[in-house]
Amino acid sequence: MNIRVRELPSQRVAYMRYVGPYGAHGIPELWNRFVTWILAHGFDLDKTTRLGVAHDDPPSRRRRSAATTRASSSRTIFSRTDRST
């Protein structure tokens, strides 16, 4: 795995959040749903930056977000995808 840590300029992103146990199903299913949503809303996967964000340390609530930059979509998008409590 190639991991890069770098500071990025401020930018708007679209994201979906997952709350639940880590493992073979939760995070991969989040990304599968999110990529489907990205493509349905006019994003070009080759021109977006995709980000994974772990919100908790220690991971007591196990919140994780999948995000992408909005620069490649020509539309203004609002969709409530965070169904966590």
Dump pLDDT digits (tens) for 29-54: 999 999 999 999 888 888 888 888 88
User: pLDDT by residue (tens digit) across 55-72?
Assistant: 877 656 688 888 888 654
pTM over 0.75: no
Residue closest to 36 by CA, chosen among 81, 83, 84, 1: 81
Q: Mean pLDDT over residues 2-13, rounded?
A: 83
From residue 75, alpha-carbon distances to 8, 39, 83 in Å are: 23, 13, 23
79: its two tokens: 């969709």
Secondary structure in 3-state letters for 47-59:
HCCEEEEECCCCC
The dihedral through the CA atoms of 66, 68, 73, 77 has a sign that is: positive
Domain ranges of the chain: 13-69
